[in-house]
A and B are shown apart, each in its own frame.
Chain A
């Protein structure tokens, strides 16, 4: 497993190295004084990618606890961004505090101890029923449905969906024992590579916009080029997974399309709330949700496909 992981990580490092060199050349050729916003953003994005990849690699090396803790922290950051924008009043304070300090840790604890039965229903049943009770007990009915529904969706997106990434470690796939981290590596790689390639294809050849009212940067050319590139790459890395090459291509297609949908839905929410980015902590990218949106939609589906067709549990 370590050799496979090392191979994938070296591949990613090679891609980033090429990207870094291209970014530097573009800056030197076109605007050495840093006056071209697109090039500066590109370089900031590449620099942030190095950071994200290194962090991810460290978590993989630390094994299961490392991966669970990393995604718990990402969920925390995502939930903090999401709930910043939702409808809420002082009456929701306890429900919101419970979302951060009870629901989130319990969900990741369930991932850690492999209790799949409760992991799958804890947020959609127990959190969704009891958090509105906490809000209702404070007796303020003003915009009540907005308040509880938006809090619930914040948890769904930021905690429930994200927690399906480390949950991949609990699958028991015959002949794949001890290699589950590679499923995470493959999923994140394919989905993020698709995002990057959609951006690149879109910048180079993008003409027709898919949803101009939601996201000006999403074009049919970028969509098709990005997804095809990512599917080809994902199937080329099939040897990391328990899938055959054909299966890997099909699953890559599903997760990259889900990833695209994630970006689209999150853009719609940003538009609704009148913001351009979810946050500001990842230079060049925006917030954590800006980077995670595609993984959020892809992870649960990837988890279900793999669990249903390959896992014993």
Chain B
């Protein structure tokens, strides 16, 4: 019994690693993504990458361009209802990306999203977070940020917050598209930020949003 468990879990780990490589390779073939680190070299350890959200492939792209050593310790924060909707997605979400799955329906929640993120940070993992909370299909470059980033920063003020601008992926995979169009994408990482002593929520979120927008270079 025990042997079977060990075999099964190592099989699933191997499958997860293989699937991760395959997803990464696919992302590279379609978008040849280029990482631009404007705020210093990539660093290991707990930190929060917060990015603009225009496509379902966003976190895959951020994850793909991270150095391999950091990738295994970087977890996307994603919607539970989407990632548990089919067995394959659930496997990819849980085993490949080790996503921190957040329930978007406050009434059905058993766990507080901020505590879930704090727990991941405390384990030494980095997070990929989309503070807009949903895909941006509007003309505006960014939607107003939800407050999750603020509460997380409040609880762990010593953690670096890294703005990440993803360019062009919305053209590769616009909402509703099934087949991606191969186009070059860039992922720009800015200088890391932290919450200031006594900084109010609105001021903090505006500062984060501004820092992210600055990386866009005026383009969407």
> Which residues of A come within 8 Å of B, CB atoms?
76-77, 79-81, 83-84, 88, 90, 93, 96-97, 100-101, 279-281
User: Majority SS of interface residues in chain B?
Assistant: loop
CB 8 Å contact bits of B24-39 with A (1 = contact, 0 = none): 0000000010100000
Residue pair B177, A80 in contact (C-beta under 8 Å): no
Residue pair B179, A84 in contact (C-beta under 8 Å): no
Residue pair A80, B179 in contact (C-beta under 8 Å): no
When C-beta atoms are compared, the residue in chain A nearest to B178 turns out to be A97
| Interface check B14, CB cutoff 8 A | no
* C-alpha gap A84/B168 in the complex (Å): 8
Residue pair A93, B184 in contact (C-beta under 8 Å): no
Q: Which residues of B contact A279 (CB under 8 A)?
A: 32, 184
Q: How many cross-chain pairs have Cβ atoms below 8 Å apart between A and B?
A: 33
CB distance from A78 to the nearest CB of B (A): 11
* C-alpha gap A265/B181 in the complex (Å): 25
Residue pair A80, B182 in contact (C-beta under 8 Å): yes
Residue pair A81, B174 in contact (C-beta under 8 Å): no
Interface centre among B32, B179, B182 (most CB of A within 10 A): B182
Q: Which residues of B contact A77 (CB under 8 A)?
A: 32
> Which residues of B come within 8 Å of A, CB atoms?
32, 34, 168, 171, 174, 177, 179-184
User: Majority SS of interface residues in chain A?
Assistant: helix
Interface centre among A76, A84, A88, A100 (most CB of B within 10 A): A84
CB distance from A69 to the nearest CB of B (A): 15
Residue among B32, B168, B171, B174 making CB contact with A281, cutoff 8 Å: B32
When C-beta atoms are compared, the residue in chain B nearest to A279 turns out to be B184
Residue among B174, B179, B180, B181 making CB contact with A83, cutoff 8 Å: B181
* C-alpha gap A79/B168 in the complex (Å): 15
Residue pair B32, A93 in contact (C-beta under 8 Å): no
Residue pair B174, A80 in contact (C-beta under 8 Å): no
Q: Which residues of A contact B177 (CB under 8 A)?
A: 93, 97
* C-alpha gap A97/B181 in the complex (Å): 5
Residue pair A101, B179 in contact (C-beta under 8 Å): yes
